[in-house]
Structure 1
C-alpha cells in the first residue's frame, strides 16, 4: 500500500495538431455521418438522462454530460475501420476549452488526430482526415467549473470504405534481436538494454546511456529475422521521449530508408500506420523532450512475414455478466482464532511509508465468532514501536489474473488510521521490486476523512502520490466508517472498473492510461492484501483523538472469474 494520489490526474495531451498523422482540409467534402446511432462509451454520465448515446442520435435537443472533472471522455464505435473526412461538435454551455481527439482500429491502441487548448465551444467543425473504427474525445481542460456536455458528436466520412485492419497483422518484433546506439545500466535504470523494448513486458525498458552525454542523436532497431511487410509500429515512451524522430527500414541493417518522420512527437503511446518492407526496423531519434536521453518501454512492429516468435498466451477477458465464485473467505472461524492458513499468509514485520505500527505475527488479527475477521490496531509497545496491527495476504495461496475482486468491510475512523484492500503483482515474490511489479489498490481509507475512499493504480511511470486513481464517497455524503460497504474491482485486459456498493465510481481505462500516464502493467497474476496501518506519509500520525484499539472488520472477500 503505497502513498496514493487523492485526485484523478487530468489527461495530458498533445498541444498541437500531429503533423504527418492528419490532413486539415478547408471543409468537409461530400460526406455522410458515420457515427449516428452507433454504440458509445463514456468515462461518466452526470444524469440518467444525459447518456453518451444522446450525442450521436442526430437530435440537437438531447445531450451527453459528464461528471465535474477533467479527463472525461466519450468514444464512438463506427462498426469497422472507416475513412474519416471530418468531425462536428455541438457543445452545450459546459464545453471543453482543451481536448484531444484520437482514433483506434481496435479500441486499445490510440493515435492522436487533433488537439486544441483554446476552443471557444459552440458549433465546431474539424475538417480533419484519418481512419479508424473508434473515435474518442478526451477533455484536458474544462471551460467551466462543471463537467462537459455535448448536444452532438458526429464523425463524417464517405462510408463503405474499410482500409485494411492492422489488428489482423502479427506481432513481428517479440523476442527478436535488438540493437541500439547505447544503453543504460546503473541504479536509475538497471540493465535497460534494447531487448527490454521487445519483451512484451511493459515494466521493463530500454534507455540510452548517460555516459554518452545524452545527446540528441540516438537509435534503437530490431531484426525481424526475415523480410517482412510492416503495417504499423507502436511506441510506448518513457517520459524521456523523442519530439523528433523517424522510422526507418532496411534489408541488411546498414542501408536505411525513412518511411515516417515527425517533429512533434508527444510521447506516451504512439501508433504509427505504415506500408513498408524490410527485415530491420529502426527508430532514429534526433531531438529529446528534456535534459535526459531516450527511453522506450515497448517498441512493437506489426505486419506479415518476418520470423515471428509466439508470445505467451493470455487468459480470456471475463464476461462480467456471467461469473463464477472461484475463491472466497467468509470468515466463519471460531472467536479468537487466526486467519485460515490455507488461504492467508500472515505478513509480520516493520512497515513501509514511514508507518508507525509493527505488524505482529499473531494477536492483532482474529475471527470474532460472528462471521467477521478483525484487524485490530493497538497502542502498545512492541519491537521498539508504539503501535501494533496486522497484515495478511494470499501470496503463495491464491494468485489470479482478471476477474471481480470484492470485499465487504467496515473501516475505522480516526486520525492516522489507514486500512486497505489491495493487490500486488505476484512477481514481487520473485524479487521484482515495487512499483515494477504493479499495484492495484481496490480500497484505501484515511481515518480523518471518513466520507472518502480511494482506488488507485501504481506503476513505474505513475506511483506514490502520482498514482492513477480517484477518491469517491457515498451519494448522501455520509461517513463510510458508519457501516459495512462493499468495495470491488472488475479487471480485464482493457481496464479496471472500481465499485462502491455495486455503483461504479472510477474506471481506469487501459487506453487512457497508456496515452496519458504510461505503460499498462497489469496483465499478469496478482495476490490480495488486507492491512490496517497506523500513521505514515499519507495520513500522518495519530493524535490524542485517535481511538485505540481500532478495528478494521472484514465480512468477506470474494473473487469471481
Structure 2
C-alpha cells in the first residue's frame, strides 16, 4: 500500500481544524475481517483538497480522509471488484458529517438500489446493518449537517465474501484492432482523431466525431475483435465531450446488433462496465450528448476471452521502494567554474514559454561552484532582446526511463519573479509530440516571492497549466524553504506518483483517482529530467527592484533509484 500523509492546507475549513487530533479507530465487523472496500477503486462527486481524495476513505488509515466541496448532492462510490453480498457498512465521520444520506448498491454502476437511508444521522462512528448485494456501493448525501461539505475518515463495507478478489476479466482484446465510427474529426482542434486512436493504448490520443455536419446526438464507435469472444467488461476513458446516455452493443457480423447494456446517467471520465456477452464486434451507440459538442474517447478497451488478441507491449515491473539500487546520479563534485558533465546533461535552450523573460545561455550561467554543488545563475543582463539570462539543462540525450525514485537536493533562491524547478518531460516530446500530450511531472516548483510554499504538479491533455493536478505544501515549522537545502523526490510506479519533501510525503497522485476524476493518465512511458531557473512568466510575474541579481539555484545532487 502506498504511503499517504494528511496535510492541513492554509485554507482548511473550520471543520478540518476541529477534527485535528481527534482520530478514532473505526470499529469493524470483526477485528480479523478485512473490509471488502479496502484499497478498492473509488470515485467521488468532488474533493475539497488535493490531499482529501476518495481513496483516503478506503485505505484503512483512520488519519486520512475524503472531504467534499461545500455543495449539496455529494457522493462517494467504491468498486468492490465483483458482485458481493453486503451485510454491514461502517462510516467514521469527521466533524463535517451528513445528517441525511442513502446507501445504494449496483451491479453495473448504472442502475442503483437503496439499501439504507436516514435523515437523522448524528455523525461520529456509525455501524449500519444492511441486506444487499452489488459490485458498487455508493453513499449519496441528501443533507449536510454543517455549512461545509462532508468528510469521512473511513468508509468500510463488510460481507461474507471477506476479501474476495475481483472476478477475472480475461485479457485485453481490443488493442490495435480495426475500428470504425459514425464520423471522425480532423482539424486544428482534433487532428487525425480517427477510431484507431481509441484502441491504441495511448491515453494521449483520442477519437472524436466530426463537427462537419453539426453536432448531433446519434453516433457510434465500434471495434472488430478479429474473432468471436466472450466479453466480460468494457472500459471507456472519456474526453470532456462524453455521452450522458449510450448503449453497449455486440454483433457476430457487424451488421445485426444486440444491446447488452444501457447507460442513461453517464458521468464521463473513466467508466468500467461489467458485461456477460458474446460477439466479434463491440459498439458504443451514443444517444445523448452531455454538452454542446460531439463525442470523444481517449480509450475504448474491451476485455474478455477468445477473440484474436494482440499482446500490448510489456510494461516495466513496478519498483520495490523498500529495496532500490542507484542507477543514475550526478554529485556535482567538479572543479569550480566547470560546466555540467556532457555525459550526463544536455544544455537546453528552452523556449520563451509562459511569457518568461530570460534567455537560457549555453554557457556561463551554469557551472560547478567547486564546493559540491552545481549553480544555475540568473543575471540581469541583456541578451537577444531580453533583459535576463539564466540556465536550463536536461537528461534527454543521456538518460530516459520509466518508474523509480527521482531525487534532488536543492537550495532555491528567494525573490520576486524567480521560478526554479526540478521536473520531468515525457520523452516522446523529443519525437515531436507536443506538450501536454507527452505528459509533464513537476517534482518541485518554487515561486520566489512565496518563500514558504513549494509545489508538485502533473500536466496532461485534460488537466494542465493552472488546471494541473497537484498540490502546494510548506515545511512543518513554516520556515522559508529558501533558507537552506531541501530534498525533493518522486516515487513513481504503475499505480501513481508519491511526492515528498525531506522524506515527508506531501502529495500523492493516484492513477485510478486521476482517471476517474480528472482525465487520462499519460505517464506510463519514458521521461527525462530537467533543472532550470526561469525569470518572470505568467505564474510568478516579472521581477522588480527588490529581486536580487545575480540569483542562484544550487543543486547538491540528482539521483535516480530503480
Over 3 Å counting, the alpha-carbon distance change for 1:90 and 1:556 in structure 2 is: closer
Over 3 Å counting, the alpha-carbon distance change for 1:366 and 1:81 in structure 2 is: farther
> Is 2:69–2:149's contact at 8 Å kept on the other side of the alignment?
no
Structure 1 residue 313 corresponds to structure 2 residue 314: yes
Q: For residues 102 and 317 of structure 1, what CA distance do their matches in structure 2 show?
A: 35
Q: For residues 488 and 504 of structure 1, what CA distance do their matches in structure 2 show?
A: 9
Question: Post-superposition shift, 1:214?
Answer: 1.2
Report the counterpart of residue 94 of structure 1 in structure 2: 96
> Is 1:379–1:548's contact at 8 Å kept on the other side of the alignment?
yes
> Is 1:288–1:294's contact at 8 Å kept on the other side of the alignment?
yes
Give 3-state SS (helix, strand or coil) of 1:184's partner. Answer: coil
Over 3 Å counting, the alpha-carbon distance change for 1:331 and 1:70 in structure 2 is: farther
Q: For residues 219 and 337 of structure 1, what CA distance do their matches in structure 2 show?
A: 60
Over 3 Å counting, the alpha-carbon distance change for 1:217 and 1:477 in structure 2 is: same
Over 3 Å counting, the alpha-carbon distance change for 1:205 and 1:51 in structure 2 is: closer
Question: Post-superposition shift, 1:129?
Answer: 3.2
Give 3-state SS (helix, strand or coil) of 1:287's partner. Answer: strand
> Is 2:82–2:135's contact at 8 Å kept on the other side of the alignment?
no
Question: Post-superposition shift, 1:85?
Answer: 5.3
Structure 1 residue 457 corresponds to structure 2 residue 454: no
Over 3 Å counting, the alpha-carbon distance change for 1:104 and 1:343 in structure 2 is: farther
> Is 1:35–1:78's contact at 8 Å kept on the other side of the alignment?
no
Report the counterpart of residue 333 of structure 2 in structure 1: 332
> Is 1:367–1:373's contact at 8 Å kept on the other side of the alignment?
yes
Question: Post-superposition shift, 1:143?
Answer: 4.9
Report the counterpart of residue 384 of structure 1 in structure 2: 385
| Deviation per residue, 1:63-99 (Å, 9 max, x gap) | 5453888699999998987444563424242336899
> Is 1:387–1:534's contact at 8 Å kept on the other side of the alignment?
yes
**Normalized against structure 1, the TM-score is what?**
0.83
Over 3 Å counting, the alpha-carbon distance change for 1:146 and 1:283 in structure 2 is: closer
Report the counterpart of residue 65 of structure 2 in structure 1: 66
Over 3 Å counting, the alpha-carbon distance change for 1:124 and 1:451 in structure 2 is: same
Report the counterpart of residue 130 of structure 1 in structure 2: 134
Report the counterpart of residue 501 of structure 1 in structure 2: 502
Alignment of 1:463-542 (within 5 A): 463-542=464-543
Give 3-state SS (helix, strand or coil) of 2:355's partner. Answer: coil
Q: For residues 142 and 187 of structure 1, what CA distance do their matches in structure 2 show?
A: 48
Q: For residues 369 and 163 of structure 2, what CA distance do their matches in structure 1 show?
A: 65
**Normalized against structure 2, the TM-score is what?**
0.83
| Deviation per residue, 1:100-121 (Å, 9 max, x gap) | 999999xxx99997999x9966
Q: For residues 321 and 110 of structure 1, what CA distance do their matches in structure 2 show?
A: 37
Q: For residues 559 and 139 of structure 1, what CA distance do their matches in structure 2 show?
A: 45
Structure 1 residue 148 corresponds to structure 2 residue 148: no
Alignment of 1:418-437 (within 5 A): 418-437=419-438
Question: Post-superposition shift, 1:36?
Answer: 4.1
Q: For residues 10 and 75 of structure 2, what CA distance do their matches in structure 1 show?
A: 13
Q: For residues 89 and 397 of structure 2, what CA distance do their matches in structure 1 show?
A: 52
Report the counterpart of residue 184 of structure 1 in structure 2: 185
> Is 2:58–2:156's contact at 8 Å kept on the other side of the alignment?
no
Q: For residues 51 and 306 of structure 1, what CA distance do their matches in structure 2 show?
A: 36
Q: For residues 507 and 424 of structure 1, what CA distance do their matches in structure 2 show?
A: 18
Report the counterpart of residue 443 of structure 1 in structure 2: 444
| Deviation per residue, 1:305-347 (Å, 9 max, x gap) | 0000010110010000000000000001110010000100001
Question: Post-superposition shift, 1:139?
Answer: 11
Q: How many residues align?
A: 516
Over 3 Å counting, the alpha-carbon distance change for 1:538 and 1:101 in structure 2 is: farther
> Is 1:435–1:459's contact at 8 Å kept on the other side of the alignment?
yes
Report the counterpart of residue 168 of structure 2 in structure 1: 166
Consecutive unaligned residues of structure 1, counting only runs of 5 or more, are 1-6, 11-31, 55-62
Over 3 Å counting, the alpha-carbon distance change for 1:164 and 1:558 in structure 2 is: closer
Question: Post-superposition shift, 1:145?
Answer: 5.8
Report the counterpart of residue 246 of structure 2 in structure 1: 245
Question: Post-superposition shift, 1:354?
Answer: 0.2
Give 3-state SS (helix, strand or coil) of 1:131's partner. Answer: strand
Q: For residues 98 and 532 of structure 2, what CA distance do their matches in structure 1 show?
A: 41
| Deviation per residue, 1:460-518 (Å, 9 max, x gap) | 00001110000001011110000000000000010000000010000000010000000
Q: For residues 389 and 453 of structure 1, what CA distance do their matches in structure 2 show?
A: 21
> Is 1:101–1:112's contact at 8 Å kept on the other side of the alignment?
no
| Deviation per residue, 1:231-266 (Å, 9 max, x gap) | 000000000000000000000001000000011000
Structure 1 residue 341 corresponds to structure 2 residue 342: yes
Q: For residues 295 and 309 of structure 2, what CA distance do their matches in structure 1 show?
A: 26
Question: Post-superposition shift, 1:154?
Answer: 3.1
Report the counterpart of residue 175 of structure 1 in structure 2: 176
| Deviation per residue, 1:400-432 (Å, 9 max, x gap) | 100000100000000110000000000000000
Over 3 Å counting, the alpha-carbon distance change for 1:292 and 1:76 in structure 2 is: closer
Question: Post-superposition shift, 1:165?
Answer: 1.5
Q: For residues 145 and 455 of structure 2, what CA distance do their matches in structure 1 show?
A: 23
> Is 1:231–1:273's contact at 8 Å kept on the other side of the alignment?
yes
Report the counterpart of residue 369 of structure 2 in structure 1: 368
Q: For residues 106 and 250 of structure 2, what CA distance do their matches in structure 1 show?
A: 24
> Is 2:105–2:132's contact at 8 Å kept on the other side of the alignment?
no
